[in-house]
Amino acid sequence: MNDVNKKTVTAADAQAFLDRVENTYIKEGEYAARIAWVQANFITDDTIWLGAKSIEKMGGLSVKFANEAKKFDDLNLSDDMRRRLNLIKGSLTLAAPDDVEKNAELAQIMANLEAMYGSGKYCVDDQCQTLGELSRTIAESKDHHALLEAWQGWRTVSPDMRDKYQRMVELANEGAQDLGYDDTGAMWRAGYDMPASEFPVELDRLWSQVKPLYDSLQCHVRTKLTDHYGRDVMGSDGMIPAHLLGNMWAQDWTGVYDLVKPEDAGTTIDVTALLAKHDYDAKKMTETAEGFFTSLGLPPLPETFWQRSLFTKPQDRDVVCHASAWNIDNVDDIRMKMCIKEDYEDFVTIHHELGHNFYQRAYNDKSILYRTGANDGFHEAIGDTVALSITPQYFKDIGLIDEVPASSNDLGMLMQKALEKIAFVPFGLLVDQWRWKVFNGEISPAEYNAGWWQLRNKYQGVKAPIQRTENDFDPGAKYHIPGNTPYTRYFLAHILQFQFHRELCKAAGFKGDLHRCSIYNNKAAGEKLIKVLEMGAQRPWQDAMEALANSREMDATAVIDYFAPLKVWLDEQNQGRDCGW
């Protein structure tokens, strides 16, 4: 491109540049994906080194292309060309500085942080526990002391990440500023087909729609946990100690269902027991989830998916067990990586991960720059939308139960779902609120941990169970922080999935309570869904939203519709209670 620097650039130059970028990404992207796959599945010093070199190479390419794309900013180009150029500039998660040594340093830090998390263990006297083992304690124990030890134990893996994380922020911000953004957070917010300054306002609007339901849930759960653990453990500030909610990060509260469930809820379907009864192993669970997508009219997964995916934790090595969907060649080599447990939670997670895989393949004929979701929230929402159809009717259709229980059981099911979905919403919002403040300097390195807990207190009404200091780095105990995965997508997904579900149920001709609808085996709903999957990122997300939801706006009222019976019940329970924090 040196000759382009010396003359006025033209539309033909822009087209040549786009061709070069797309060809490079197709070729280099597969190589990088294969290295990342090996690193995640065989954590050794050598694979960490390879991973760092690969990140360094791809980071350098991305920054180089993003800087070159700026040269065409003033040209009058077609909408399609302009969109692809904007995607080149905005597709970076972290922008390495335009400096060879700093790019290498950033890549090494990113690989190290990922590996520190993946191989993290809590050890006492040579007895070590993994995240999976500690999480099991948090999920199953009701002993305050055991919970506290597991909670604290996992957070011993993250303090050593702190200096690396701080340096990573400095380098990434330098890279973002080279591209014309104020900081890395501003770069992330620019990727939503709307002015970056308006995006946080939109998030606040959506949160305000859900907050009254969350507040009712938090009040009820806090009351019931106080009954169980006593005020000495709970305190009297209205907040819930983070180790008592059944999840390592207090982002999913289904682990406390038995303590907070409605007394007259009847019995919910014990899916975990049914999976065991019907001899479901990891593969059968995955085949069942595949069957959901094929029932909507999508083609089955390729044979290579079954040959190359990781379904169970190997006994002989460290792997990153965090469930993920992989698109190795951006065409047909799609895979899932997950250490599947034969339980209800993982049954749902598999449906979610396959949502990514079916989406990845549906747009594989588009420009490589469009082979992604309409926005990143869409990608997360698609699998979750399907998971909302994992209803009693679905269990009957796949042969797990013989009869659909009466609606008198719905309150228990809705409580369980709210503990999973509604409990998550403020957490989904605050993770990037913290990062954006770190990136723009509002939260200084000396306040990393304090800033984290201030946001958790504010949004969730959740507090640390013991005093935390700046010797701790509790954000690093959550995969997406050291793994550098933007998190607002999960917040958006928790809004969009209900909006999508409501519209697909309408398309399916479903009449009745929204939480009872399953679109399994419904081709009319499938047709609407497939149309959006095939679009990829070719059009602004508002266009994809209109195709699926007949609206160009995100709307959380579907969340309220779905949980309406539970909200009535919670408000009855909370009468006379001192709610809020």
- Distance (Å, rounded) from C-alpha 343 to C-alpha 135? 14
382 versus 264: the higher-pLDDT residue is 382
The pLDDT, as a whole number, for residue 4 is 47
Give the whole-number percent of the chain exceeding pLDDT 70.
Answer: 98
User: E strands along 400-496, which residues?
Assistant: 462-463
Q: Does residue 278 carry a catalytic annotation? A: no
Across residues 82-104, what is the average pLDDT? 88
In degrees and rounded to multiples of 5, residue 337 shows phi and psi of: -125, 120
Across residues 540-566, what is the average pLDDT? 94
Across residues 404-424, what is the average pLDDT? 89
- Distance (Å, rounded) from C-alpha 465 to C-alpha 237? 12
**What are the residue ranges spanned by the domains of the chain?**
2-116+162-189
The pLDDT, as a whole number, for residue 266 is 67
- Distance (Å, rounded) from C-alpha 347 to C-alpha 352? 9
Label residue 229 left, alpha or beta by phi (over 0 means left) and psi (-120 to 50 means alpha): alpha
In this prediction the pTM is 0.88
Q: Does residue 353 carry a catalytic annotation? A: yes
- Which of 220, 356, 480, 494 is catalytic? The answer is 480
Q: Is 28 helix (H, G, I), strand (E, B) or coil?
A: helix
CA atoms within 13 A on the CB side of 356: 20
Across residues 402-430, what is the average pLDDT? 91
Computed from CA positions of residues 51, 52, 54, 58, in that sequence, does the dihedral angle turn out positive or negative?
A: positive
> Does residue 267 have a pLDDT over 80?
no
The pLDDT, as a whole number, for residue 3 is 46
> Does residue 373 have a pLDDT over 50?
yes
Amino acid in the structure at residue 67: N
Across residues 107-134, what is the average pLDDT? 92
> Does residue 488 have a pLDDT over 90?
yes
> Does residue 262 have a pLDDT over 80?
yes
- Distance (Å, rounded) from C-alpha 499 to C-alpha 475? 30
Average pLDDT, the chain: 93
> Does residue 5 have a pLDDT over 60?
no
The pLDDT, as a whole number, for residue 59 is 82
> Does residue 91 have a pLDDT over 80?
no
User: Per residue, what are the HEC states of 158-207?
Assistant: CHHHHHHHHHHHHHHHHHHHHCCCCCHHHHHHCCCCCCCCCHHHHHHHHH
Classify residue 41 as exposed, middle or buried by CB count within 10 Å of its CB (0-12, 13-18, 19+): middle
Q: What would the DSSP string read from start to end of 494-508?
A: HHHHHHHHHHHHHHT
At 489-527, the pLDDT tens digits run 999 999 999 999 999 999 999 999 999 999 999 999 999
> Does residue 320 have a pLDDT over 90?
no
- Which of 56, 353, 380, 503 is catalytic? The answer is 353
The pLDDT, as a whole number, for residue 7 is 66
139 Cβ contact list (under 8 Å, min separation 6): 246, 247, 255
The pLDDT, as a whole number, for residue 6 is 45
